[in-house]
């Protein structure tokens, strides 16, 4: 008769809970409270029932309009992102779920301020924006991380980085100081979100250094992209 000992799989999220609490508290200390309405030039607004939107009204270029629309559609999809983030990290009733809820609350402001800016300034057809939102949310979003915590952390860290870069570049390209200020504000949020995930990924790799975290092509994330992520310069 052979004696064997069953070793249950590691619960990496539970092991990471102390780090999640530490980084959440750091985030709360660094995050700045802001209000979307403070960024909107309401004085330039006009009633749409009296003056319908026309294609000659936007003050930003066609390329900038496309960039803003894509960024807004990305932010509009928050319900799907929340579902995925909650699935990946919404464990228990401690730091992880508190982070997920805080992240969602902060992200919610982004679509509000973007839509209000675009509608008030008439820089994009508001009917097209609403139809795009309806289509986007019905299409939804699904990300399969295979249940791998490290892969999930790596994905969201890079996603926050990409969003930060996109928002900053869109603001600069707009040639509108109001838009640039809005996009910088959003990018600052995305940067802090990236920092949380980046540092959580570092902690996870300390706990499980032998984990094979690979891209779909099979390249080692730990040996390539992780070095790039660690070297990122954090925005002030």
Average pLDDT, the chain: 86
- pLDDT above 70 as % of the chain: 81
> Which residues is 220 bridged to in the sheet?
214
> Are the beta carbons of 44 and 187 closer than 8 angstroms?
no
Alpha-helix residue ranges (DSSP H) falling in 31-93: 62-76, 78-89
**pLDDT value at position 11?**
85
* DSSP codes of every residue in 122-166: T-S-HHHHHHHHHHHHHH------TT-HHHHHHHHHHHHHHHHHH
Residue among 169, 153, 145 at smallest CA distance from 225: 153
Q: Residue 173 pLDDT > 90, yes or no?
A: yes
Contact predicate 27/103, CB 8 Å: no
pLDDT tens string 67-108: 999 999 999 999 999 999 998 898 788 999 999 999 999 999
The pLDDT of 113-139, averaged and rounded, is: 96
**What pLDDT is attached to residue 144?**
64
Give pLDDT, residue 10. 54
pLDDT of residue 92: 80
Question: Higher pLDDT residue, 54 or 144?
Answer: 54
Give the pLDDT confidence score for residue 67 in this predicted structure.
96
Tokens encoding 7: 């070793």
pLDDT bin (cut points 50, 70, 90) of residue 143 is: low
Using one digit for the tens of pLDDT, what is the confidence trace for 181-234? 999 999 999 999 999 999 999 999 888 776 644 444 444 554 444 454 444 444
What pLDDT does residue 140 have?
66
pTM, 2 dp? 0.85
Class of domain 60-230: mainly alpha
Across the range 12-19, mean pLDDT stands at 93
């Amino acid at each position: 008769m052979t004696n064997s000992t069953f070793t249950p799989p590691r619960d990496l999220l539970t092991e990471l809970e102390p780090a999640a609490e530490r980084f959440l508290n750091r985030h709360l200390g660094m995050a700045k409270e802001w209000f979307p309405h403070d960024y909107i030039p309401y004085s330039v607004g006009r009633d749409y029932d009296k003056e319908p939107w026309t294609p000659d009204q936007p003050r930003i270029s066609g390329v900038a309009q496309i960039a803003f629309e894509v960024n807004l559609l990305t932010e509009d999809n928050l319900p799907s992102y929340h579902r995925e983030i909650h699935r990946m990290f919404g464990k228990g009733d401690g730091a992880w779920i508190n982070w997920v809820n805080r992240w969602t609350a902060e992200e919610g402001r982004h679509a509000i301020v973007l839509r209000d800016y675009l509608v008030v300034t008439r820089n994009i057809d508001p009917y097209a924006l609403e139809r795009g939102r309806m289509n986007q949310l019905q299409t939804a979003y699904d990300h399969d991380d295979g249940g791998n915590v490290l892969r999930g952390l790596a994905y969201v860290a890079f996603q926050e980085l990409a969003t930060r870069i996109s928002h900053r570049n869109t603001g600069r390209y707009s040639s509108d100081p109001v838009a640039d200020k809005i996009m910088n504000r959003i990018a600052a949020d995305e940067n802090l979100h990236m920092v949380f995930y980046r540092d959580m990924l570092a902690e996870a790799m300390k706990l499980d250094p032998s984990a094979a975290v690979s891209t779909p092509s099979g390249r080692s994330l730990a040996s390539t992209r992780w070095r790039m992520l660690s070297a990122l310069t954090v925005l002030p």
